[in-house]
Amino acid sequence: MRIIVFNAGSSSLKFGVFDLDAAMTLNQAQQLYKGSFDRFGPDGCDFRHGAHTERAPHRSLSDATRAVPALLQQAGISGIDAVGHRIAHGGARFDAATLLDDTTLAQIAALTPLAPLHNPANLEAVDVARQVWPDLPQWAVFDTAFHLSNPARASTYAVPKAWRDTGLRRFGFHGTSHKYVAQRAAEVLGHPLRDLRLISLHLGNGASACAIAGGVSIDSSMGMTPMEGLVMGTRSGDVDPGLFGYLQREMGLDIAEIEDGLNRHSGLLGLTGSSDMRDVEARAAQGDSDAQLAIHIYAYRARKYIGAYAAAMGGLDALVFTGGIGENSPSMRRRICDGLGFMGLLLDHDRNMAVELTARAAPQIQAYGARVNVLVTETAEQLMIARDVAVAMARPSCQSTRIPVAVSARHVHLCRKAVDALFGPSYELTPDKPLRQQGHWAARERVNLHGPKGDIANVAILGPLRDRTQIEVSRTDSFALGLDAPVRQSGNLDGTPIIRLSGPAGEFDSDGLIIAARHIHMSAQDAARMKLRNGDMADVTLDATGRDLTFTRVLVRVTDNAFTEMHIDTDEANAAGIRGEGDGHICAAASMMPTRDE
């Protein structure tokens, strides 16, 4: 499949042509052409293609977009199947690659106040591309889409409800970059993405940090707009919102002037007079105190986010640097990482100084024996956009298939050591009722859970025994216990809270307290019929007997002899208006990135 991708800015247009299909890894995709137009002006612009730079007569984004077909013809490239566009802000509506039509374009245009520097240029490129290629499907991939998986505690501002009802919330940006970085890191490390806890640092003129756990974004430093978070080239990053009132009183500035100052005249530019880190580092080495302070602030802010996100994920497997500064500044990488040795994050000097990024390389630069991997890679947002479009185009039209939905009440899975402590040495649990999943059963015995706020008695035990104790509760249960149970897939227990269990013979303290992420057990036969694979995500809409609620991004777990059914917890069942069990309709939604164990 051949896809051309446009990334349009107010004064630039980047584009590329890719050959790939939905089943390829990122490193297997081929880029056939790479070009960019920069610094539009009355006398033309700079045109870069490959290693060459020349002047071109195009004075605007529209002129440059219209010139692309002739450039591709000169390069001998034809047979384009689709056009992909980077759209900065998709709000809460657009969570995946979306086919563009008049309705979706109007919805995107309505989001312009949230990204006034980005969305208008994005939409201008779409408008021209639809004229140039009227017969090709035009797709949008959104910077914000990757972050819509952020939990409410990360995306919600603590402001009045009336404000939140207007749509005020945190969105996050650089989503295609962070998504690419995460998938590339998983390829290089040879681990399934769903098993990794990653922090992606996109450090360029725009900068953001992203915490990625289980393959999804759980937090991002940018907020409702791209202004929040890290220090950037011209943007301030985190500031006290009280400065609006202060600057109005002290300097007579209105809201528009303050917003313009925070967006265009702050960050490195506000601290040093230059928005280019290369200039700032050079001046700092010559003794410029403003530049030295800017570098300290920049690194300190990034280091704080790394520590915060490692805490939020309960640990860290890899830190990945990308973006112009992250890729090219060994000294900034070192400044950010120094002081994080307490968490097992240490750089190797020689590896850090010898980073080579050709051919989509992602070298590791951590010290030998360090617990946390540190990687550097060039971001490839255009490639990620092309792949998202290819996956969307390859997805078969949704064939709605009925699937049973079971409500999974609180329960525990015990290990041998736990059974011995709770019921006595060598005690054997008594299977009482078989479950639908072959070989699984509910035991006659029960246990009690004890938290710092309260207790839950008579909790069911499910067998057979496991290698590690796992306690599954609802979010409401976790508040009753007074513990912060994370949403996790079964078996992903590292960094989970410790809770006390009690039985007739004694007590047992164990980690493994989770809120089980909704999932679908599926037989291999049903998976083949529905064209789903282990690790795919699906959407499930409950029958009208409930509240017509759709659960998105439900993990599909395929085993040979599974009984096909979806499991949700009691809070989700209450939200859907069902009790005990019900029915839903499943539709394939998105595939996870292929990894080495699939």
* Residue numbers belonging to the annotated binding site for Mg(2+): 7, 381
Strand partners of residue 219: 211
C-alpha–C-alpha distance, residues 41 and 349, integer Å: 43
State which amino acid sits at residue 84: G
Active site residue 279: no
The total of other beta-carbon atoms located within 10 Å of residue 7's CB is 23
User: 541 in helix, strand or coil?
Assistant: strand
Helix (H, G, I), strand (E, B) or coil at 179: helix
Measured in whole angstroms, how far is the alpha carbon of residue 231 from the centre of its chain?
A: 21
Cα radius of gyration rounded to whole Å, the chain: 26
Mark the binding-site residues, compressed into ranges.
Answer: 7, 14, 86, 202-206, 276-278, 324-328, 381
Residue 272 in tokens: 């040093």
List C-alpha distances in Å: 215 to 118, 147, 448, 519.
Answer: 27, 11, 33, 15
Tell me the Ramachandran region of residue 575: left when phi exceeds 0, alpha when psi lies from -120 to 50, beta otherwise. Answer: alpha
Q: Which residues are annotated as a binding site for ATP?
A: 14, 202-206, 276-278, 324-328
- Pairwise CA distance, residues 215 & 200, whole Å: 12
What angle separates helix 330-337 from helix 289-313, to the nearest 10 degrees? 50
Which DSSP string corresponds to 108-164?
HHTTGGGSTTTHHHHHHHHHHHHHHSTTS-EEEEETTGGGGGS-HHHH--SS-HHHH
Of the candidates 95, 143, 526, 536, the residue annotated as catalytic is 143
Whole-angstrom Cα distance, residue 99 to residue 162?
33
Could you list the residues known to form a binding site for substrate, using ranges. 86
3-state helix, strand, coil in the chain (%, to 5): 35, 30, 40
Dihedral sign from CA coordinates of 104, 105, 106, 107: positive
Beta bridge partners of 459: 447
Sheet bearing 207-213, strands edge to edge: 216-220, 207-213, 197-203, 318-322, 373-376
3-state secondary structure string across 215-243: CEEEEECCCCCCCCCCCCCCCCCCCCCCH
562, 403 contact by CB (below 8 A): no
CB 407 within 8 A of CB 399: no
CA distance 469 to 467: 7
Q: Which residue has the tokens 């490129």?
A: 125
Active-site residues, by number, are 143
